[in-house]
């Protein structure tokens, strides 16, 4: 029986109440402040949420009102969302790096009445927008540094709201408990805005039932233990963070841990040593790049040792995935490699204690996936969508496979329609899009099937395979299948390539635009005495173009002939969410990029050796500038004979 079937445990704030009653001294959530981990017990967690809820009530917050949290992962921002939900309100977390135009759209569309901002930077953004937000009544700030001279009447400090809440609670005994009891599983818990890959973000209404049943199903097929440490570092506006840092932490009684700052995540990760971890592909790709760079910078002996045992591990991993057992000599190599290489690498990454790790949010290249698994990290794939409460399918420990996303989680049905699109039905499917009934009808069939927009199929073992976004899957001019993400993930295995955008639909061959990884390519250039002044200068150097050409040739060797990249161009700027080229979750807005760089695509297929590029750049303060340049186009050298794609 699900927790939501009991009125006593039917909402997230009620589960917090349960945890505080049953384990008052247990660690509920931590944050690292000034180098020290500060712990809130479940009782303190509950009491703070209750006091803040009273404070919101004293400010006029009512059932159905919307509260937006904006900032880095902080306990206070999680508290305020649960406080709003306890009063029957709705949490609307927003991306902390959003520019003004994005914030205005989301806050207005959601009808946000209270913003809880982490610090001065977020307060300044909110104040600059307040005249465009007719529903906004209060801005509450947590970190008061730099705000002592602000006197806008709309501002309140977090501490002052807590203080007002304690007074309100004394004057209104039983108020919080009564409001908490009114909450029901069907109530909307949060509005999570989609990444907007095809247009304006849509507000996905998720109920307490959606969130709780999704993580219950996930826990059934994963080894989740009470008291497990979880690092809460992903953007709070991403539904994946809410699913794990709030819903799973409350349902499974995990301890959420907030790092000191985004810059200290890797250090805090290593210090904490979490029991489990979720990261999008970009994080795993960055970890791989860091590992490869450290290996490249090591002494010849250490570099040889790393590469030798890496080869042993990857050969054994391929054997295991094919159902074969490593030889006695290979098992001996793994044992020695564990001491010399694999264990130290896991320790450097902060994953020595992790029982399982997941990658999700977008496809992860199979080469990157196998690298981590071969080093003893139990990395698996999870597949989800905002409209499905972040969780649809995942892999069991014994069924890890780089080419699938596993089986549907319990109580979720999946079918593939006649166009190859993945559809699902279950208690995790969202309530609907906020104020967009027509869009809801277009996404959910009359009998309750959610259209994911992803193309996929089931393999012989019953595992779901996701090919790409259905709208992005195409064909080359000769009729061969073209799935751009598959090719891009092959390219991004290179530590020198940060982003790749492949084109080829209805075209005679595949081409790609590359954004280099400035850190690794910059280090490579410095070692060779190549001076550079900027990203544009670095990417424009012929030596760098030759380096990337060699990396593309390596990737081509793992691709079928027809899917191999024939021509490429190095972008003179990084793809940026502020320029609408990517979403805040680092997904390429493919159609927008194709339109923006139409002149490049024309030059690619017109046989030209250079392209004139004019792009608009958006700065952090909203100012815009135009960048005009002529960029060289390169042909890829012939690759070795292709082997079967991994």
Give all domains of the chain, ordered by start, each with its CATH number: 3-208 (3.40.50.12780), 281-352+354-469 (3.40.50.12780), 474-635 (3.30.300.30)
Q: Which of 7-16, 523-532, 613-622, 629-638 has the lowest mean pLDDT?
A: 613-622
Q: Which residues contact 185 (CB under 8 A, 6 or more apart)?
A: 4, 10, 11, 207, 208, 209, 212
Pairing label, strands 356-359, 276-279 = parallel
Largest distance between two CA atoms of the chain: 79
Q: Which pLDDT value is given to residue 463?
A: 94
Residue of 191, 564, 220 lying closest to 389 (CA atoms) = 191
Percent of the chain with pLDDT strictly greater than 70: 97
pLDDT over 80 (residue 362):
no
Average pLDDT over residues 154-180: 97
* pLDDT at residue 314 is higher than 70: yes
What's the average model confidence in pLDDT over 292-312?
91
How many Cβ atoms from other residues are within 10 Å of residue 617's Cβ? 13
Residue 621 reports pLDDT greater than 80: no
What is the pLDDT averaged over residues 289-300? 87
Average pLDDT, the chain: 91
Query: Cα–Cα–Cα angle for 9, 14, 15, nearest 5°?
Result: 70
- The model's confidence at residue 197, banded by pLDDT at 50, 70 and 90, is low
Question: 């000191």: which residue's tokens?
Answer: 260
Structure confidence at residue 638 as a pLDDT band (50, 70, 90): low
Residue 644: the pLDDT is 37
pLDDT at 646 over 60: no
DSSP label at residue 280: -
pLDDT at 414: 97
How far is residue 425's CA from residue 414's CA, in Å, rounded to a whole number? 7
The answer to whether residue 575 scores a pLDDT higher than 90 is: no
174 — pLDDT class (breaks 50, 70, 90): very high
pLDDT in tens, 411-421: 999 999 988 89
Going through 203-244 in order, the beta strands assigned E by DSSP cover: 203-207, 229-231
- Residue 332 CB coordination number (10 Å): 12
Cα gap 234→279, rounded to integer Å: 8
What is the value of pTM for the model shown? 0.84
Which pLDDT score, from 0 to 100, does residue 290 have? 87
Q: Which of 219, 211, 205, 192 is nearest to 409 (CA)?
A: 219
Q: Name the pLDDT band for 642 (thresholds 50, 70, 90).
A: very low
Which residue carries 């001019």 as its tokens?
Answer: 477
Lowest mean pLDDT among 190-199, 392-401, 557-566: 190-199
Here the tokens at position 368 are 């990157």
Closest Cα partner for 645 from 504, 512, 503, 493? Answer: 493
Distance CA 556, CA 533 (A): 31
In the predicted structure, residue 242 carries a pLDDT above the cut 90: yes
pLDDT tier, 196 (very low <50, low <70, confident <90, very high otherwise)? low
Instruction: Work out the number of other CB atoms within 10 angstroms of the CB of residue 327.
Output: 12
3 state DSSP class of 45? helix
Query: Residue 302 is encoded by which pair of tokens?
Result: 């250490």
- CA-only gyration radius of the chain, Å: 25
**Where residue 625 falls among pLDDT bands split at 50, 70, 90?**
confident
Q: In the structure, what pLDDT confidence band is assigned to residue 643 with cuts at 50, 70 and 90?
A: very low
92-151 residue pLDDT tens: 999 988 877 788 999 999 999 999 999 999 999 999 999 999 999 999 999 999 998 899
CA–CA dist 284, 580 (Å, integer): 23
**Mean pLDDT, to the nearest integer, of 345-372?**
89
């Amino acid at each position: 029986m699900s927790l939501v079937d009991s009125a006593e445990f039917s909402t997230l704030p009620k589960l917090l109440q349960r945890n505080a009653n049953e384990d008052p001294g247990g660690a509920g959530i931590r944050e690292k402040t000034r180098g020290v981990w500060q712990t809130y017990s479940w009782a303190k967690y509950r009491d703070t949420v209750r006091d803040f809820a009273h404070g919101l009530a004293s400010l006029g917050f009512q059932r159905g009102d919307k509260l937006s949290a904006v900032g880095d992962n902080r306990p206070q921002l999680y508290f305020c969302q649960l406080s709003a939900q306890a009063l029957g309100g709705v949490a609307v977390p927003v991306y902390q790096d959003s520019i003004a135009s994005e914030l205005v759209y989301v806050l207005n569309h959601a009808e946000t009445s209270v913003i809880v901002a982490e610090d001065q930077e977020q307060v300044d953004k909110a104040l600059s927008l307040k005249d465009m937000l007719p529903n906004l009544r209060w801005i509450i700030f947590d970190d008061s540094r730099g705000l002592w001279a602000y006197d806008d009447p709309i501002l309140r400090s977090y501490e002052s709201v807590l203080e007002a809440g304690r007074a309100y609670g004394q004057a209104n005994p039983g108020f919080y408990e009564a409001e908490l009891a009114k909450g029901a599983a069907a109530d909307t818990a949060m509005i999570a805005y989609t990444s907007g890959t095809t247009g304006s973000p849509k507000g996905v209404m998720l109920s307490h039932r959606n969130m709780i049943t999704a993580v219950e199903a996930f826990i059934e097929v994963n080894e989740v233990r009470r008291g497990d440490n979880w690092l809460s570092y992903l953007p709070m506006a991403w539904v994946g963070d809410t699913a794990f840092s709030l819903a799973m932490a409350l349902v499974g009684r995990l301890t959420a841990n907030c790092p000191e700052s985004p810059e200290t995540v890797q250090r805090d990760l290593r210090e904490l040593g979490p029991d489990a971890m979720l990261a999008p592909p970009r994080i795993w790709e960055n970890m791989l790049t860091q590992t490869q760079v450290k290996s490249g910078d090591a002494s010849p002996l250490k570099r040889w040792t790393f590469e030798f045992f890496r080869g042993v591990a990857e050969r054994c991993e391929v054997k295991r995935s094919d159902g074969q057992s490593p030889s006695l000599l290979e098992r001996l190599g793994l044992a020695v490699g564990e001491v010399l290489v694999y264990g130290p690498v896991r320790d450097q990454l902060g994953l020595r204690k992790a029982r399982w790790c997941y990658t999700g949010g977008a496809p992860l290249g199979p080469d990157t996936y196998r690298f981590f698994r071969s080093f003893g990290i139990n990395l698996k794939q999870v597949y989800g969508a905002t409209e499905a409460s972040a969780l649809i399918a995942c892999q069991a420990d014994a069924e890890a496979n780089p080419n699938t996303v596993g089986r549907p989680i319990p109580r979720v049905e999946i079918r593939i329609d006649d166009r190859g699109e993945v559809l699902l039905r279950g208690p995790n499917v969202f309530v609907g899009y906020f104020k967009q009934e027509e869009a809801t009808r277009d996404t959910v069939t009359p009998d309750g099937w959610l259209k994911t927009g992803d193309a996929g199929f089931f393999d012989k073992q019953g595992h779901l395979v996701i090919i790409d976004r259905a709208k992005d899957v195409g064909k080359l001019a000769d009729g061969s299948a073209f799935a751009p993400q598959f090719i891009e993930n092959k390219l991004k295995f290179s530590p020198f390539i940060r982003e790749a955008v492949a084109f080829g639909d209805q075209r005679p061959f595949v081409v790609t635009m590359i954004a280099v990884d400035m850190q690794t390519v910059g280090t490579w250039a410095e070692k060779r005495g190549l001076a550079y002044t900027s990203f544009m200068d670095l990417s424009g150097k012929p030596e760098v173009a030759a380096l990337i050409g060699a990396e593309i040739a390596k990737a081509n060797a793992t691709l079928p002939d027809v899917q191999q990249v024939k021509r490429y161009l190095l972008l003179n700027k990084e793809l940026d969410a502020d320029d609408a080229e990517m979403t805040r979750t680092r997904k390429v807005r493919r159609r927008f990029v194709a339109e923006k760089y139409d002149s490049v695509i024309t030059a690619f297929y017109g046989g030209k050796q250079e392209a004139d590029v004019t792009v608009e750049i958006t700065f952090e303060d909203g100012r815009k500038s135009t960048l005009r340049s002529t960029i060289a186009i390169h042909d890829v050298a012939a690759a070795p004979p292709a082997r079967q794609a991994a």
